[in-house]
Amino acid sequence: IRVRLFVGWTGGEVRGLRFSLLRMSRGKVVLAYSGGLDTSVILKWLQEQGYDVICYIADVGQDDDFAKAEAKAKALGAAAVYVEDLKKEFVTDFIFPAVQSNALYEGRYLLGTSLARPCIARRQVQIAAKEGAEFVSHGATGKGNDQVRFELTFYALAPHIKVIAPWRDNAFLTQFQGRTDLLNYARTNGIEMPSGDKPPFSMDENLMHISYESGSLEDPKVAPEEDMYTKTEHYKNWPDVPEMVRIEFRDGMPVKVTSKETKESHDDPLELFLFLNRIAKKHGIGRIDIVENRFVGIKSRGVYETPGMTILRCAHLDIEGIAMDREVMRLRDMMTPKFSELVYNGFWFSPESDFLLAAIEKSQELIDGWVEVVCFKGSCMAVARDSPSSLYSEKIASMESTEGYDPSDADGFIRINAIRLRAHREILMSTDRRRLEDAPMKLGTYSALLEGDKKD
């Protein structure tokens, strides 16, 4: 606290005495701000702690009123407000590399939130550097994955940055033990109150997906209401007529999409993706309801809608089928689960992710061509494809032709591959039967041998 003494003199007499108590700033902090209740309370709370708060609003395609959020932050005394349009770089720098890798966490989750977090956090540390801010802050809870994803990105890109995480701060947690405390604080501090009923679950949205968690969804035995879904139409409205889209690829990257019915076409990455979202929404494509393993060790139930990405992944898998070498595909497929896990856990900016991304990008060379996908009643399926770098030969594959492939060559191929199988059988034949009978493995070749003994 700094004290200033002001003394006014009139004719040699003290006219007045007043003190100005000026709180010394503890520094600048860039707050990831949404305009919602939590981050608005955090904004005021940080100010009370003595920080100059710079609000950062990331537009990754969520259905928010950004002008309203900006005005709200300014009204609450933010030192500055940044509203950053990250939609295009989200698609080109994060979503499309995930398409190339066929990324899928635990075999089902397309990583919509996981991919957005490093995109958002990257810009946050850039703003911190521009503003000379020593601190960054976020409103992620202490039980979820997002705190990890944000902060690993902060430290990877700005090693000396300091993080303020209110939902892990003891003083904050003591003051705000639930939503009632947040609402009471908002009333006291002139923070605009949320209007309407609070949904019985939490949501996180971007242009790639929307997630629904917590609240009424915490019971995995309870199915979600149909009216919950926002990125896919109600199932009663799904068209009775299928729709075909053609997706073109170059080096495994989507470069153009065209509706076979309407002829509407897009080659801008963002517009291409948004167009696929609209097609998938209409046909109810991209819903999943899963229980997943969070990085922090908790199982959680999540319901996700990932419309356009579901179509893209379907098409990309198919173009690889015709244009990618078998052994390259096998190696890349070994990398995909690990890469997906890294993305989910928040390690997008890490040496291991850099390595995998470089290898995946190499695997995508000459993965060119087009795939036609039919969309209908909640599902999509690739039904036609072509590639200038196709490794498929109709003449070789045809049962009607022997050009380029002599069926008699298969005789030697089979015999060579059978050498070790014959050797294994001979070993089993010479093994004491009692040992085989006592073995825990009673299937496969053991079982076949013992069954043969019974018949003999």
Strands of 210-213's sheet, edge to edge?
A: 202-205, 210-213, 299-305, 287-293
Catalytic residue among 59, 85, 168, 202: 202
State the angle between helix axes of 444-455 and 409-429 in degrees (0 to 180), rounded to the nearest 10.
70
38, 85, 251, 289: the catalytic one is 38
Instruction: Determine whether 117 is an active site residue.
Output: yes
Of 52, 117, 123, 211, the active-site residue reads 117
Give the per-residue SS3 of 222-239: CCCCHHHCCCCCCHHHCC
Other Cβ atoms within 10 Å of 86 Cβ, number: 20
Q: How far is 412 from 318, CA to CA, in rounded Å? A: 32
146 tagged catalytic: yes
Catalytic residue among 52, 146, 204, 318: 146
DSSP 317-361: HHHHHHHS-HHHHHHHHHHHHHHHHHHHHT-SSSHHHHHHHHHHH
Residue spans of alpha helices (H) in 346-408: 351-363, 394-397
d(CA 168, CA 173): 7
Which residue, among 234, 232, 228, 379, has the nearest Cα to 302 in the 3D structure?
228
CA distance 452 to 456: 6
> Under a CB-based contact definition with an 8 Å cutoff, are residues 336 and 141 in contact?
no
Q: Containing H/E element for 124?
A: helix 112-131
**Residue 406 bears catalytic tag:** no
Q: Answer yes or no: 38 catalytic.
A: yes
In order of 42, 148, 209, 283, 363, the CA distances from 111 in angstroms are 27, 15, 9, 21, 21
Burial 313-351 (b: 16+ CB within 10 A, else e): bbbbebbbbbbbeeebeeebeebeeebbbbbbbbbbbee
Measure the CA angle with vertex 272, ends 269 and 277; round to 5°.
125
Q: For strand 299-305 and strand 369-376, is the pairing parallel, antiparallel, or unpaired?
A: unpaired
- Please give the positions annotated as active site: 38, 117, 146, 202
